[in-house]
Structure 1
């Protein structure tokens, strides 16, 4: 699973995800992409599950680019622990995804296979998504 090698700070504030994505909102590498239509935190496990669904449907043909990276630590306290005594330890990593962000791109497969692969991947993610194709592609 994806996680940073090192970070400047061990724990992060929860924060809020405001606005639309300006960076990463256009296809850069592949011909087809999966775009987030709502803002959400996506965990490293969800990214990995979506990636596996993509590559499995494509039968490992073509190429996949993951355009998001989980770099925000999420800390939780153990079950049945009283309040106070500081913040919990980091448990997993998430990526804050804004609406309009391209999360995955693929190339080297037909459109119908790409569309079905992204449907399977989208089922693993907590955001509403849209299939996007490079300008000039049929359909």
Structure 2
């Protein structure tokens, strides 16, 4: 099914019992994350953590984005599905890490945030 673009409004609020991991990377603005951006972030986390810590991804790209081929005239319906995205609200948790030192987690999340098109914040659960 071909989805519509839509708008991303509001703030995502989390209950304290949902945050079971120690280190959290949250968004500070709404936006769209592609599957490639989430995969690039996952590769950084898995490469650096190896077996000493565990991570969890809280977003999933489930919305299809259609695109028409180049040099095609207007009309004739919507284009074919090109890629998939995940809509994220401000304050939504993207990634969480457990069993890792705070300094390592912060440097990891800085590297991950370079791969994302939206602004993020690092939080340490106390």
Same fold (TM over 0.5): yes
Q: After TM superposition, which residue ranges in structure 1, 4 or more long, deviate above 6 angstroms?
A: none
Listed one character per residue, the Cα deviations across residues 45-81 of structure 1 (whole Å, up to 9, x for unaligned) are: 1001011112222234210100011111000001111
**Structure 2: distance between partners of 1:66 and 1:57:** 15
SS of residue matched to 1:54: helix
Q: CA RMSD in A?
A: 1.7
SS of residue matched to 2:105: helix
2:103 paired residue among 90, 96, 112: 112
Query: How far did 1:24 drift?
Result: 7.5
Contact kept, 8 Å, 1:33 with 1:102, in 2: the verdict is: yes
Contact kept, 8 Å, 1:25 with 1:100, in 2: the verdict is: no
Q: Which runs of 5+ in 2 are unaligned?
A: none
Q: Which runs of 5+ in 1 are unaligned?
A: 1-9
Equivalent runs, 1:1-139 vs 2, <5 Å: 10-23=1-14, 28-135=19-126
Q: TM-score, normalised to structure 2's length?
A: 0.93
Contact kept, 8 Å, 1:31 with 1:133, in 2: the verdict is: yes
Structure with more helix by fraction: 2
SS of residue matched to 2:71: coil
